[in-house]
Amino acid sequence: MRKIIFFQPHPDDLELKCAQLIHHLAIKCNQKFSIKIAAITKGEFGLPGYIYDKFKGELLANVRTKELLSAMSFHNIKKEQIYFFGYLDGCVKFNNEFIKSILSYLEKEKPDIIFAPEAYYTSYYHADHVNTGKALYYIIHKKMLSTFPKLFFYSTLSPNRYFGFDKKDLPLVDDLLHCHKTQFWLLNKAKILYKITIRLAGLHVKGHKYAEKYRRVYFSYDTPQKNKISYLIKILSHWFASWPWFKAKYPLGFFHETS
């Protein structure tokens, strides 16, 4: 049985990126795969603006944890298959401590395949996402693991792999989004772009109208063309990095009170 770990910085990050693939692997593959979910944070500050300050922190973290468990039940993924690293929403740093934490988890689990947010050519330039992807890339690239898992990035602007699915599978995503009631204000808007991207990705898959897109990361130095990125994608990734709303909204005085 091959082990696959899906990393998500926040409890709702996989629903519009990997939901169809996770469901296929967990439900339709006759238990050929062991699926794990690795959540870097519990999304403690995932509400827009200071009017929601009284809900942020531990209260929102507990609610979002329950929302994640509810969503994962659609894939028959149990609580025991979900691991929380315990980092603070919006405060995930690419540093030695974070790398060691990820490395320790990977050495324990020894996955065959890893899915993570795109680190370099991303359409969602939230620091928690980028730094999670960077940490996993760094660990594998530097051969810090005793194994050598395959790495795939989601939220990528430069896909080279596609997972096709049919129109009858679309209601799954609606069911998952409704589990995340505290995030529905954002997810429902994001679904507009989701519908466009899965339709465009579907053009790359014969026999399917829709698809999820991924970037398989190649580490071998003898396959440089497989990692080649166009200049347009590089420009777009820098443009997305300048958008102001990819940051958590902390309660007023939060850092002063906790310093």
User: Which is higher by pLDDT, 185 or 230?
Assistant: 185
Tell whether the model's pLDDT for residue 250 goes beyond 70. Answer: yes
Question: In this predicted structure, what is the pLDDT of residue 101?
Answer: 98
**What is the b/e burial string over 99-134, where b = at least 16 CB atoms within 10 angstroms of the residue's CB?**
beebbebbeebebebbbbbbbbbbbbbbbbbbbbbb
CA distance 156 to 152: 10
Angle, vertex CA 19, rays to CA 18 and CA 22, nearest 5 = 80
Q: What is the pLDDT of residue 116?
A: 98
Confidence (pLDDT) at 31 = 80
Task: Say if residue 65's pLDDT is above 70.
Answer: yes
Q: What is the C-alpha to C-alpha distance for residues 209 and 198, in angstroms, rounded to an integer?
A: 8
Tell me what pLDDT residue 217 has.
Answer: 93
C-alpha closest to that of 208 among 217, 216, 199: 199
182: domain CATH number? 3.40.50.10320
Statement: residue 30 has pLDDT above 90 = no
Q: What is the pLDDT of residues 175-227, one digit of tens each?
A: 999 999 999 999 999 999 999 999 999 999 999 999 999 999 998 765 656 66
This prediction has a pTM of 0.93
Convert the pLDDT of each residue in 120-161 to its tens digit.
888 888 999 999 999 999 999 999 999 999 999 999 999 999
Per-residue model confidence (pLDDT) at position 49: 85
| Per-residue pLDDT at 242 | 60
Residue 174 has pLDDT above 80, yes or no: yes
Range of the domain at 58: 2-258
Lowest mean pLDDT, pick from 3-7, 30-34, 168-172: 30-34
Q: What is the pLDDT of residue 230?
A: 73
Looking at residue 137, its pLDDT comes to: 96
Work out the mean pLDDT of the chain and round it to a whole number.
91
Share of residues in the chain with pLDDT > 70 (%): 91
Q: Is 211 exposed, middle or buried (0-12, 13-18, 19+ CB in 10 A)?
A: buried
Model confidence at 45, in pLDDT bands (50, 70, 90)?
A: very high
The pLDDT confidence band at residue 235, using thresholds 50, 70 and 90, is confident
What's the domain count of the chain?
A: 1
